[in-house]
Amino acid sequence: MILYFSGTGNSKLVAHRLAALMQEKIYNLEQGAPPALHKGERLVLVAPLYFWTLPSIVLEYLAQHQQLNRHELHLVITCGGALGAGASLMTRQGRRLGFHEIYVHALVMTTNYIPLHRIQRPETARKAIDAALMKLPEVADKISKKQGAPTSIFLQRGLPLAQGMYDRARHTRHFYVTVRCIGCGLCEKDCPVQAIQLLSGSPKWIKPQCTLCLRCVHHCPAAAIEYGRSTVGKVRYHPEKLFSIEQDTQSKEV
């Protein structure tokens, strides 16, 4: 079975394409508890890379649902640049959660983390996404052969540092709304961890931390949500301009 979490759409696209290729069931972990797994059924999880680690929503989900097969876990990670120490750090995270065999597979796509970067031009981003999707047969083959990216015990020691950076970055005090807000409530509806509430027609962040998917920033129809000053004036990421989400995600979710 393929589980997935997607902040803005890249990981969803990969999960559906991979599910169709491998003829696997697919499930969005935002929908709650996963369907029952058959004994020995392989677990593949598709998610984005955040600060070289798994998103907090993914870690909490894996910790909560102990019925998931803990023997073998394949992590298919989408990222905007190099995987870096991610394979080692995520392997350690997985082992802390009780998984025995962990294999990491990386797909470099296009960045949407605009607090640090700018969105690539559409033609550049589209080429990067197409190149990543072309590697999916190779990823599927490595999953079947139980092969993954190399890991290092030495690099795993950097997990506390990476987690600390991520935890500081996902404090919701960084987010605010500008006068462009139209009070549509989409950010409240879309937030995967229910960290936003519309109060008096304006979004408020009601939790001290979120998962830092930036879905609220990118999906806001008025581009009214900012993350500190680092996102001001930057183009938002709109995957629907790069690929047809409905057409490219036709695998039926369970």
Spatial distance between the Cα atoms of 192 and 107, rounded to a whole number of angstroms: 23
Q: What is the pTM (predicted TM-score) of this model?
A: 0.94
- Its sign, for the CA torsion 118, 122, 124, 128, is positive
Q: Closest Cα to residue 109, out of 77, 139, 80, 138? A: 80
Each residue of 71-93: pLDDT tens digit? 899 999 999 988 999 999 999 99
- Domains (range + CATH), the chain: 2-166 (3.40.50.360), 171-229 (3.30.70.20)
**Contact in structure between 27 and 52 (CB atoms under 8 Å):** no
pLDDT tens, residue by residue, 107-158: 999 999 999 999 999 999 999 999 999 999 999 999 999 999 999 999 999 9
* Cα 81 to Cα 108: distance, rounded to the nearest angstrom: 6
CA atoms within 13 A on the CB side of 242: 23
Report the C-alpha dihedral over residues 110, 191, 75, 231, rounded to 10 degrees.
Answer: 30
Helix (H) or strand (E) holding 58: helix 56-64
Q: Are strands 43-48 and 26-28 parallel, antiparallel or unpaired?
A: unpaired
Judged on CB neighbours under 10 Å (0-12, 13-18, 19+), 113 is: buried
State the pLDDT at residue 247. Answer: 54
